[in-house]
Amino acid sequence: MMRGNKPENTDFVNKLLTDKEVLDIDQHSTGSKQLYRKGDAVVWVSEMPDTGYLNGALFNLGDNAQEQSVTYADLGIKDSWQAKDLWTGEEQGTTKVMIKQAIQPHGTVLLRLHKK
């Protein structure tokens, strides 16, 4: 559900509302849950059962930019995983231990992880 006046949407907002990978999370992910909330930092995770992907949404609820991190132990995973920022479409690289992201005030980062 989206509230607003669609003709006034920016190209960026229209892209977010029609992005295939973001819609895939909305329509096909399972096990969605809040992983943790530490002050103004909130992390939600879900799984994609057909592909084995993991999704992570990192939220900054505060008024100041902050760096957030999620360890693979937090996610219950091992090995190497490739992260992709779904808002920007940029590959974030392969890691084995932790994901770190700088997040703007009242911002979010939506990541999709796939095993390397």
The span from the CA of 30 to the CA of 35, in Å, is 14
pLDDT value at position 9? 86
Let me know: does 86 contact 109? Beta carbons within 8 Å: no
Average pLDDT over residues 32-56: 94
The span from the CA of 16 to the CA of 72, in Å, is 27
Q: Which helix (H) or strand (E) holds 16?
A: helix 11-18
pLDDT above 80: residue 99: yes
CATH number of 6-115: 2.60.40.1180
Categorize the per-residue pLDDT at 1 as very low, low, confident or very high, splitting at 50, 70 and 90: low
pLDDT above 90: residue 62: yes
